[in-house]
Chains A and B, each alone.
Chain A
């Protein structure tokens, strides 16, 4: 066995050491023959005879060397090497062809690898946690509505943790981390930083271990305990230069509405591979983590996001059954709970990427179609080339090359091309994935961790091999088949083989057109959905509006807040270029929360009563471009002493007083106090562009504490030119104002539509690529057909056919190919469109406009592709052709 291995190894090595081994053998044979001559001379032969006899005894030298080579090396590998060398030589001769094919393949394979990397990262690769398949996400209200509708109170969490039997452990984090503005102080300008409050067992349960330092201790997780923080790897590198000695030291952190202020001890640094935002809040970069003091949050309502780890052997369904029974029991024991926390449990992975599954699979299919089109196209090009090389192949057959050998040679050629294409494609894929990984504006989970990894490399090899085989097999069989005499006799013009050949190529082009048609229509539908989405009436005007996080100093007194804020707004409005300004604590499509709100007369109604809450200043509604439908805006007169005022949206008004004017009526709202409805505004899309608005309420910042404050301004100037003036104004009024930056509201909208844009953009790019390829295919086939028929065309023209007539003939031929392809493609599109119906928005899967437009586009491009050869055909000189020049 070992001997065999040794032999195989030596043989493989020998393949690459051919020439030194041959030289050695030459010397050995020479020495052999000389020894034989010498012996013969000793026997008394004449020198001539001695030499002749020696050579005869030795036998044919070439044969001996051949057998030596066969014995010492791997014949198959040797042949492969020859084939490869031959391939490189022929491709070098045909440089233009090789470049086109490689580029087309590189684009096709590159796109495939890039999409695979994304799909693999988001859908296929398990989350980077310990045994991630046992992690479960909890959501109330089926995961619908705002954050407050999906989260738990401290009491609900604790009771479930205590009484459940299905989970090894249950943990939580504070979902309203965005509402707490942390500042890093004591190091120059106060720096706004992003922190998340997590339960004591959060990291241990996920299996995330600090690279330096340790986890939180129970003491640090209790109110009054020593303040401790874990840093994210990125923040540690950026802010502390990756200095390990930071662990154990204190940093000064200031949090606006939470309990942490003052020195916080850094107890560790989390690994670079842990990205909270990528999993739980796409697009967000978290700087540090502090313990959530459950006692502090106990009175805050639904604020905790809950994640559990199943006990080994317990299924998700079993856990769901237990939760269905347990939560109502707990509720029965706690009359003070607002709701029964009917929970939907799902795998954490599912929760992270489940919504994207369909989009990503569609993307995967689209890019697969592209690869198919690429293969057909390259196959077509190779067929064309095989045709022009028919003589070469025939000659080689005549010289004794077997059919198998020719097929192998041809396949080697296609595999070499696909390997080169794959190598180039990998570079493309790498460029695409690394640029995707830095798209922080994209609301796709895990996107920041996308990269070309081992799986993607394996995928590349797989698709390169199969592509090479798919586009190589046709030309290979074609090249090796056929009639030797025919091929040697004529160059392939006008003979039966040429025509048969053309039929194969036409079939390929038709399928190419059909696939491109499917892609185009799919892309058309998705793009139209995207445009429809952009057309949605948001209820506010995002252009020219930007928001910046601010802090103000009212000394904790509601009475002083009005004048302080009024002054800020007045000073900001005075800055040249600023048209309007207002304040809110939460922006639409950004973060949100909801509280109970009912018409006073409906208070005992048990229907859903939540409404999104926005604590706003006078002028905010106008600045955002929200439209008042009745009543008035909030005013500075709505102070701490006056009657609580509230502005509702139409959805809230409809829910509480269907068909009646709500202005002037009373609601029971925030803090279960009565408030007077002073105005009604048009609905504002607050959670997503796709969903209708839910009930919303806007309450005066002078009567209620905001959770963080955003200053919103409307200006036609570029926001960066206004920012310094705004910042210095804010600083002059409050020196503690951290150095924050404006966010364009449009950017928030873009973030919300980014997954759809991503899908529409990519599929459109693929469709465009497919269209170009189909166009190239048509051009190639028609062009070849014109060349083949040039003699016939010449004769027809000599017999009186006009140039226009000839041109028409060629165009008609093109159109026939295109129309067959389009017919098949449209039929297939109906099926495909139905399959992607759930991804469409405001667009019917059978949208006639899209179908018509895409078909017209495809036909037009096909005509264009046929036009060039048609012109060439019409310019054929009959005399020249007839003379055979």
Chain B
């Protein structure tokens, strides 16, 4: 796997984490991982452990906050919540992804037409 790929995946995962937290409210790491697995049809996360690198990165950028608390079934767990800056970033990233996928979609469509000729 090249470095560029990893970067792309990393950014993607960060975006999904932000989106999940924005939609679901505070969650612990396991919750975030489960949610992403469910939504993506288990296609994104190879290992649930990968989520923690993403979580700490987002936290250090100030986009999510973390706090130890107690879960529904009375277990100690670390809960993550999206911050105001995180929401702004989410909006920016979502727009960016929209544009990017649009452009890539168009380019690929054009390329395949070229192939047909």
Which residues of chain A have a CB within 8 Å of any CB of chain B?
A: 3-4, 6-7, 10-11, 14, 24-25, 27-29, 31-32, 34-36, 38-39, 57-61, 63-64, 67-68, 70-72
Q: Do B60 and A31 have beta carbons less than 8 Å apart?
A: no
* B24 adjacent to chain A (CB < 8 Å): no
Task: Name the CB-closest residue of B to A11.
Answer: B60
* B106 adjacent to chain A (CB < 8 Å): no
Task: Name the CB-closest residue of B to A39.
Answer: B34
Minimum CB–CB distance for A70 against chain B, Å: 7
Could you show 9 A-B contacts with beta carbons less than 8 Å apart?
A3-B62, A24-B78, A28-B77, A35-B71, A35-B77, A60-B49, A64-B52, A67-B52, A71-B53
Q: Given that A38-B73, A57-B48 are known contacts, is A32 also in contact with B60, CB under 8 Å in the complex?
A: no
The residues of B that contact A34 with a CB separation of less than 8 Å are: 75
Q: Do B47 and A6 have beta carbons less than 8 Å apart?
A: no
Task: Name the CB-closest residue of B to A4.
Answer: B61
Task: Name the CB-closest residue of B to A35.
Answer: B30
Contacts A32-B30, A72-B60 known; list 7 others, CB within 8 Å. Answer: A6-B62, A28-B52, A31-B28, A38-B75, A58-B49, A61-B49, A67-B53
Main secondary structure of the interface of A (DSSP, over half): helix
Which residues of chain B have a CB within 8 Å of any CB of chain A?
A: 28-31, 33-34, 46-50, 52-54, 56-57, 60-63, 71, 73, 75-78, 85, 89
Q: Given that A7-B60, A11-B60 are known contacts, is A36 also in contact with B48, CB under 8 Å in the complex?
A: yes
Q: Given that A28-B78, A72-B60 are known contacts, is A36 also in contact with B30, CB under 8 Å in the complex?
A: yes
Query: Please, how many angstroms separate the alpha-carbon atoms of A34 and B28 in the complex?
Result: 12
Query: Please, how many angstroms separate the alpha-carbon atoms of A60 and B47 in the complex?
Result: 8
Contact partner of B85 among A3, A29, A70, CB < 8 A?
A3
Query: Please, how many angstroms separate the alpha-carbon atoms of A68 and B58 in the complex?
Result: 12
Q: Do B28 and A32 have beta carbons less than 8 Å apart?
A: yes
Query: Please, how many angstroms separate the alpha-carbon atoms of A31 and B50 in the complex?
Result: 15
Q: Do B52 and A29 have beta carbons less than 8 Å apart?
A: yes
Query: Please, how many angstroms separate the alpha-carbon atoms of A4 and B46 in the complex?
Result: 28
Minimum CB–CB distance for B114 against chain A, Å: 40
The residues of A that contact B63 with a CB separation of less than 8 Å are: 3
Minimum CB–CB distance for B9 against chain A, Å: 12
Q: Do A31 and B77 have beta carbons less than 8 Å apart?
A: yes
Q: Given that A31-B77, A35-B71, A35-B75 are known contacts, is A25 also in contact with B52, CB under 8 Å in the complex?
A: yes
Task: Name the CB-closest residue of B to A67.
Answer: B53
Minimum CB–CB distance for A154 against chain B, Å: 74
Q: Given that A6-B62, A31-B28, A32-B28 are known contacts, is A72 also in contact with B57, CB under 8 Å in the complex?
A: yes
The residues of A that contact B71 with a CB separation of less than 8 Å are: 35
Query: Please, how many angstroms separate the alpha-carbon atoms of A29 and B56 in the complex?
Result: 13
Query: Please, how many angstroms separate the alpha-carbon atoms of A31 and B27 in the complex?
Result: 13
Contact partner of A3 among B49, B54, B56, B61, CB < 8 A?
B61
Minimum CB–CB distance for A11 against chain B, Å: 6
The residues of B that contact A28 with a CB separation of less than 8 Å are: 29, 52, 77-78
The residues of A that contact B73 with a CB separation of less than 8 Å are: 38
Q: Do A68 and B61 have beta carbons less than 8 Å apart?
A: no
Minimum CB–CB distance for B13 against chain A, Å: 11
Among B30, B47, B48, B54, chain A packs the most CB atoms within 10 A around the CB of B30
Query: Please, how many angstroms separate the alpha-carbon atoms of A38 and B31 in the complex?
Result: 13
Minimum CB–CB distance for B1 against chain A, Å: 13
Query: Please, how many angstroms separate the alpha-carbon atoms of A95 and B52 in the complex?
Result: 42
The residues of A that contact B46 with a CB separation of less than 8 Å are: 59
Q: Do A68 and B56 have beta carbons less than 8 Å apart?
A: yes
The residues of B that contact A25 with a CB separation of less than 8 Å are: 52
Task: Name the CB-closest residue of A to B63.
Answer: A3
The residues of A that contact B30 with a CB separation of less than 8 Å are: 31-32, 35-36
Query: Please, how many angstroms separate the alpha-carbon atoms of A4 and B60 in the complex?
Result: 9
Task: Name the CB-closest residue of A to B56.
Answer: A72
Q: Do B77 and A70 have beta carbons less than 8 Å apart?
A: no
The residues of B that contact A71 with a CB separation of less than 8 Å are: 53-54, 56-57
Q: Do B62 and A59 have beta carbons less than 8 Å apart?
A: no
The residues of B that contact A35 with a CB separation of less than 8 Å are: 28, 30-31, 71, 75, 77
Contact partner of B75 among A31, A57, A60, CB < 8 A?
A31
Among A36, A39, A71, chain B packs the most CB atoms within 10 A around the CB of A71
Q: Do A32 and B48 have beta carbons less than 8 Å apart?
A: yes
Minimum CB–CB distance for A674 against chain B, Å: 97
Minimum CB–CB distance for A882 against chain B, Å: 57
Among A7, A29, A35, A36, chain B packs the most CB atoms within 10 A around the CB of A35
The residues of B that contact A7 with a CB separation of less than 8 Å are: 57, 60-62
Q: Do A68 and B52 have beta carbons less than 8 Å apart?
A: yes
Query: Please, how many angstroms separate the alpha-carbon atoms of A58 and B52 in the complex?
Result: 11
Q: Lowest 9 CB-CB distances: which A-B pairs, in order?
A: A59-B47, A64-B49, A10-B60, A67-B53, A71-B53, A59-B49, A35-B30, A72-B56, A32-B30
Minimum CB–CB distance for A173 against chain B, Å: 64
Contact partner of A6 among B31, B48, B61, CB < 8 A?
B61
Query: Please, how many angstroms separate the alpha-carbon atoms of A10 and B56 in the complex?
Result: 10
The residues of A that contact B56 with a CB separation of less than 8 Å are: 68, 71-72
Minimum CB–CB distance for A7 against chain B, Å: 5
Query: Please, how many angstroms separate the alpha-carbon atoms of A63 and B89 in the complex?
Result: 28
The residues of B that contact A60 with a CB separation of less than 8 Å are: 47, 49
Task: Name the CB-closest residue of A to B88.
Answer: A3
Minimum CB–CB distance for B86 against chain A, Å: 10
The residues of A that contact B48 with a CB separation of less than 8 Å are: 32, 36, 57-59
Contact partner of B50 among A4, A27, A29, A59, CB < 8 A?
A59
The residues of A that contact B78 with a CB separation of less than 8 Å are: 24, 27-28, 31
Among B28, B52, B61, B75, chain A packs the most CB atoms within 10 A around the CB of B52
Minimum CB–CB distance for B10 against chain A, Å: 9
Q: Do B53 and A70 have beta carbons less than 8 Å apart?
A: yes
The residues of A that contact B76 with a CB separation of less than 8 Å are: 27, 31
Task: Name the CB-closest residue of B to A54.
Answer: B48
The residues of A that contact B61 with a CB separation of less than 8 Å are: 3-4, 6-7
Minimum CB–CB distance for B117 against chain A, Å: 45
Query: Please, how many angstroms separate the alpha-carbon atoms of A86 and B61 in the complex?
Result: 31
The residues of A that contact B49 with a CB separation of less than 8 Å are: 29, 58-61, 63-64, 67
Query: Please, how many angstroms separate the alpha-carbon atoms of A24 and B67 in the complex?
Result: 11
Minimum CB–CB distance for A5 against chain B, Å: 10
The residues of A that contact B53 with a CB separation of less than 8 Å are: 64, 67-68, 70-72
Query: Please, how many angstroms separate the alpha-carbon atoms of A11 and B76 in the complex?
Result: 26
Task: Name the CB-closest residue of B to A13.
Answer: B60
The residues of B that contact A64 with a CB separation of less than 8 Å are: 47, 49-50, 52-53
Q: Do A67 and B75 have beta carbons less than 8 Å apart?
A: no
Minimum CB–CB distance for A153 against chain B, Å: 76
Task: Name the CB-closest residue of B to A70.
Answer: B53
Query: Please, how many angstroms separate the alpha-carbon atoms of A67 and B78 in the complex?
Result: 18
Query: Please, how many angstroms separate the alpha-carbon atoms of A3 and B86 in the complex?
Result: 10
Query: Please, how many angstroms separate the alpha-carbon atoms of A64 and B53 in the complex?
Result: 7
The residues of A that contact B85 with a CB separation of less than 8 Å are: 3
Query: Please, how many angstroms separate the alpha-carbon atoms of A57 and B45 in the complex?
Result: 9
Query: Please, how many angstroms separate the alpha-carbon atoms of A35 and B79 in the complex?
Result: 13
Query: Please, how many angstroms separate the alpha-carbon atoms of A6 and B56 in the complex?
Result: 13
